[in-house]
Structure 1
């Protein structure tokens, strides 16, 4: 699926949450690619912007263009290698907040469905029990009404589009999702309602545990009006 009318906001140019000699933690806005696209008009990206100020910065993991929130970059090759290894060994922890279509009847649950690229419709992904790679997501309902639910999503694995496809698979697509939402869910928001809110990992040099949290840039709209989102796990 082509990127239509790619024009990410240039203010702020990038948003640093944390910085030291080895790593940067940033808050990526929705609508900005993590790394440059193939086409010339898709070169603007978080990687390119950061490297103009920090030439040695490298991307360790990615967020979808439409997803906002926390992302870590390494400032030296040893830090890149160590953090990449931590992601590979699942020694990091991430949680997301999303607004999804419809009312989730249960308070929490898990989605254990293998995923594979839907090649004729790439970059879309799909559930495939025979060829798919294992994908596991835990979810917890934070609020709901008859039209939508606010959920905390905790991916155990890190497959492409995992949270988006998993929520679709249980009948609750994420609002504003141009790839997977049906028309009603798509029109309910002007951007993908998915935000990487927390990120935990050990510092690549000191091995000190580090934890970051980033405010959610959208609100839960219930029948009682807008509700500010402050979800620290309570």
Structure 2
């Protein structure tokens, strides 16, 4: 296995469990669940010994994060993806609705990337990986890292909020023309700005609105929860919905439409936009 990152434990006062201490230590993994998964996969070592989730670390310990060697015969999910941008460092693909980005399931975007993207010619080429997520029912643009360094750097850009994401949604009910929603999610600050592009009257829903959304934070289900919090849930949302206002069989009307950022390796401005799905255009031609 190849070492990705090394960390030496400084003053901590008293022994602490590795999976608690290591949150935020590694650039490539920034969540407790991510650390736990890495430990269980055997890619974390402490003082040259494979770590366990029960291990306590002490001052002066050396923690190493390794990259798993990919199996040559690893089965891939045969699924054609639309690639909108690609170079040796990164790619941007279109994620259709109704498919997981990653996880324990076999049928994921993550498992379909290798057959859809070209292998990077750079020395630190690795299995391409998504560097952010979209919900299962959400369609739109997904950013992919193709080298070890690019995965690290793109994660850092997201943390620094240097990658701008624009979404479009169709929401229900009468709504202000624009505004900002500051509603905490899981006791954490969360902020979304919105702008109504077009509204039409609806016999069933009162009004349907095509809205442009700019999340300023990245909480789970943020856009869905925020629009629901102001009484304007997204059309087709079964989880955050008003009584008798659920549209069944058409999926969620939420689309990640634009990604904008400065390419971290050649400093070019990248702006990629994906048009709305057909179901949007049936309501707002």
> Do both proteins adopt the same fold according to a TM-score greater than 0.5, normalized to the shorter chain?
yes
Within 5 A, what are the aligned runs for 1:154-173?
A: 154-173=214-233
Cα 1:158–1:45 change in 2 (3 A) is same
* TM-superposed deviation, 1:220: 4.8
Is the 8 Å Cα contact of residues 237 and 252 (structure 2) preserved in structure 1? Answer: yes
Query: Which secondary structure state, in structure 2, belongs to the residue aligned with residue 57 of structure 1?
Result: strand
1:83-132 C-alpha deviation (Å, 9 max, x unpaired): 1101000011011000001121x21000011101xxxxxxxxxxxxxxx1
Aligned to 1:142: 197
Is the 8 Å Cα contact of residues 109 and 138 (structure 1) preserved in structure 2? Answer: yes
Check if 1:96 corresponds to 2:167.
Answer: yes
Aligned to 2:213: 153
Query: Which secondary structure state, in structure 2, belongs to the residue aligned with residue 139 of structure 1?
Result: strand
Equivalent residue in structure 1 for 2:284, among 217, 224, 227: 227
Is the 8 Å Cα contact of residues 92 and 142 (structure 2) preserved in structure 1? Answer: yes
Is the 8 Å Cα contact of residues 69 and 195 (structure 1) preserved in structure 2? Answer: yes
Cα 1:195–1:11 change in 2 (3 A) is farther
* TM-superposed deviation, 1:133: 0.8
Is the 8 Å Cα contact of residues 174 and 185 (structure 1) preserved in structure 2? Answer: no
Is the 8 Å Cα contact of residues 97 and 151 (structure 1) preserved in structure 2? Answer: yes
Equivalent residue in structure 2 for 1:207, among 236, 254, 267: 267
Aligned to 1:108: 178
Aligned to 1:19: 86
Aligned to 1:66: 137
Within 5 A, what are the aligned runs for 1:25-64?
A: 25-37=92-104, 42-54=105-117, 56-64=127-135
- Report the more deviating stretch, 75-84 or 199-208: 199-208
Cα 1:220–1:78 change in 2 (3 A) is closer
Q: What is the aligned length?
A: 196
Check if 1:187 corresponds to 2:247.
Answer: yes
Is the 8 Å Cα contact of residues 84 and 92 (structure 2) preserved in structure 1? Answer: yes
- Report the more deviating stretch, 85-94 or 42-51: 42-51
Structure number with higher relative contact order (C-alpha < 8 Å, ≥ 6 residues apart): 1
Is the 8 Å Cα contact of residues 177 and 185 (structure 1) preserved in structure 2? Answer: no
**What TM-score, normalized by structure 2, do the two folds share?**
0.65
- Say which one has the larger Rg: 2
1:147-176 C-alpha deviation (Å, 9 max, x unpaired): 211100100001110000000000000011
Is the 8 Å Cα contact of residues 181 and 191 (structure 2) preserved in structure 1? Answer: yes
* TM-superposed deviation, 1:177: 0.9
* TM-superposed deviation, 1:178: 2.0
Ranges in structure 2 where 5+ consecutive residues have no aligned partner: 1-76, 118-125, 202-206
- Between the aligned partners of 1:216 and 1:227, the Cα distance in structure 2 is 10
